[in-house]
Amino acid sequence: MMRYLSTGSTRQDPAPFLLALLVVWGGLLAACGETVIENPEPSVVIAYPFDIQGVNELTTPSTPIMNGMLYFAWFLQLVEEQADYQDGPPSFEPRLAESYEFSDDRLRLTFHLRDEVVWSDGVAVTAEDVRWTWQAQVHPAVTWSFAEAKSRITDVEVVDPLTVVFHFSEAYAAQLQDANLGVILPKHAWSLLPFEEWRQNNTWFHEHMVVNGPFILESWQPQQRFVLRRNERYFEDGVPTTNRIVFQITPDTNSRLALLRSGQAHMIEVIDPSDAAMIVNEPDLELLSHIPRSFFFVAWNVSRPLFADKEIRQALTMGIDREEIIDSLHFGYSSPAHSPFPSNLWTHNDELKPWPYDPGRAKEILANHGWVDTDGDGIRDRGGEPFSFELITNSESQVRVDLLPMIQEHLKRIGVEVRTRSMEFNALLGPLNQHDFDAVIQALALDTSLNTSYFFHSDAIDGGYNWGMYSNPEVDAVIDATVEQLDQLMAKPLYDRLQVMLHEDVPMTFLYESRRLTAVHKNLHNVDPNALSGFFNIRRWRLEDEG
């Protein structure tokens, strides 16, 4: 199970190094105004807009690229979650653990580890690594963003080098997901740095990096490129199926497309729908698509008087023309949304319909609440104050930036003034976490434990993603009930009820359900982007030129 904040791509929307030998890499050259990549050997090249931020998931912000590298390239989880959640909870395939079982009372979960897995320096991976990783995840000095998922794990017991038991304080639906959350880290290498010093020494982990996954981090030039190299000690026979993968950091959309079309890059993980037709029409390129586990929204800060009343939030929602947004920005690759659960997820409430675009009804609601244009300037006011607020988003996502003037214009039609501002994502996190904003365009991603408490529960106002400070005791109770239900399929009525309440309360205006589009060269095989990650199958990618 992976949880991450989805920052979007630039368009769509989210150590000494292990090898002492530095590999000479030609890199990114500007010649005659064109971007040129030179490689000394056949390599898969990914044109990617963002750099990684570190190699330790417990001290590094969780983003799609970080999750892709941590979970599928560098480190192993106990088991690997699959993207088969359309009709029910996901299944899990063996990874570090070859099998697992619950005790009859479901208070103990035993994992049996493979005996052939070693770290890239040759040291065996054992149950001690599993226990120590859990200790790091829950240590108060480490302050892992998702430590709460481990709150009902009371101990992780080492029975023998290949057997580890997770002890729980109670039985609940997501025990396997919570035990499995996070990658297994190298105790022998990283325990040399006390937990109390982790937050102040993020670069230390690069300098002491060993991995148990299919790739090592061969080199990293921040904001330029990072390079993966086959881990020769990886346990699966014949895997990975490519020797070297280069992530060329290319923030500009047009530059990424130029690299792909020229054959210098083999993949762009996320492309804008406006570029889809060009990809489809290129004989050497292929367009892949899937529905991500993300939901895209405008979050209203309900602690602000303007947004405290749910009828006002409903009016604002009906004042936004989502069909126009979809036609203008998504070119048929999205549809209006009404829920945090995408339509291909088994919990989606098919009976609900999105709020309609109804500016007439929106105006009526605003007028009923005393918001009228008393001075004829086109902006509604009440008590001498105009209905005016600031809408913000992150500048890395061009679609979100493009949304700002569209929503501004839509709400102007109903007499609401919207001031807009975009900023770099890391700068945006400050006002979001401090609840110091009016409204924000963002996206978040569900993990497949479907625990929405991180976004909508009152407890998530401090330390979660409930940036708008939404609080409804009924919603809290339903969320808690979904978490406590042992048979997740039996919780379907609870999920349906939760979506009805969120639909009525509108703490967020759900904008659209978007298809995520990936562009690949046809000579790159076995690419299988899905809602877990665009890099889900990276260990089995194969470049035709490599034979």
Cβ distance 520 to 288 under 8 Å?
yes
Strands 417-423 and 388-394: parallel
Q: Is the pLDDT of residue 424 over 60?
A: yes
Cβ distance 336 to 501 under 8 Å?
no
Residues 6+ apart with CB under 8 A from 474: 501
Q: Is 163 helix (H, G, I), strand (E, B) or coil?
A: strand
Question: Which of 93-102, 253-262, 447-456 is predicted with the least confidence, judged by mean pLDDT?
Answer: 447-456
Instruction: With cut-offs at 50, 70 and 90, classify the pLDDT of residue 171.
Output: very high
Q: Is 486 helix (H, G, I), strand (E, B) or coil?
A: coil
pLDDT value of residue 425 = 87
Q: Is the pLDDT of residue 79 over 80?
A: yes
Q: Is 254 helix (H, G, I), strand (E, B) or coil?
A: helix
- Selection from 516, 519, 536, 517 nearest residue 45 by Cα: 519
Average pLDDT over residues 429-457: 91
- Selection from 73, 28, 46 nearest residue 519 by Cα: 46
pLDDT value of residue 414 = 98
Q: How far apart are CA 453 and CA 339, in angstroms?
A: 14
Average pLDDT over residues 303-309: 98
Instruction: With cut-offs at 50, 70 and 90, classify the pLDDT of residue 87.
Output: confident
pLDDT tens digits along 20-58: 222 222 333 333 334 455 556 789 999 999 899 999 999
Residues 6+ apart with CB under 8 A from 103: 109, 110
pLDDT value of residue 141 = 97
User: Residue 188: how many CA atoms within 13 Å on its side-chain side?
Assistant: 13
Residues 6+ apart with CB under 8 A from 27: 37, 38, 221, 224, 225
Q: Is the pLDDT of residue 9 over 50?
A: no
Cβ distance 62 to 145 under 8 Å?
yes
pLDDT value of residue 486 = 87
Which domains does the chain carry? Answer: 27-55+64-73+213-291+516-546 (3.40.190.10), 79-190 (3.90.76.10), 294-514 (3.10.105.10)
Q: Is the pLDDT of residue 316 over 70?
A: yes
Select the more confidently predicted residue: 486 or 382.
382
Average pLDDT over residues 94-117: 98
pLDDT value of residue 211 = 98
pLDDT value of residue 38 = 57
Residues 6+ apart with CB under 8 A from 31: none
pLDDT value of residue 228 = 98
End-to-end CA distance of the chain: 34
Query: CA-CA distances (angstroms) from residue 207 to 16, 54, 218, 365, 533?
Result: 4, 11, 12, 59, 27
Instruction: With cut-offs at 50, 70 and 90, classify the pLDDT of residue 545.
Output: low
Question: Which of 73-87, 151-165, 184-198 is predicted with the least confidence, judged by mean pLDDT?
Answer: 73-87
pLDDT value of residue 531 = 85
Instruction: With cut-offs at 50, 70 and 90, classify the pLDDT of residue 407.
Output: very high
Select the more confidently predicted residue: 527 or 34.
527
Question: Is the backbone of residue 173 left (phi > 0), alpha (psi -120 to 50) or beta?
Answer: alpha
pLDDT value of residue 33 = 38
Q: Is the pLDDT of residue 263 over 60?
A: yes
Instruction: With cut-offs at 50, 70 and 90, classify the pLDDT of residue 292.
Output: confident
Burial of 261 per CB tally in 10 Å (0-12, 13-18, 19+): middle
Select the more confidently predicted residue: 241 or 18.
241
**Mean pLDDT over each residue of the chain, to the nearest integer:** 90
Instruction: With cut-offs at 50, 70 and 90, classify the pLDDT of residue 15.
Output: very low
Q: Is the pLDDT of residue 300 over 70?
A: yes
Average pLDDT over residues 471-490: 93
pLDDT tens digits along 135-152: 999 999 999 988 989 999
Q: Is the pLDDT of residue 2 over 50?
A: no
Average pLDDT over residues 418-439: 95
543 sits in which H/E element: strand 542-543
Count CB neighbours of 280 within 10 A: 11
Residue 209, both tokens: 């990096």
Q: Could you give the percent of the chain with pLDDT greater than 90?
A: 79
What pTM did the predictor assign? 0.78
Select the more confidently predicted residue: 87 or 380.
380
Q: Is 376 helix (H, G, I), strand (E, B) or coil?
A: coil
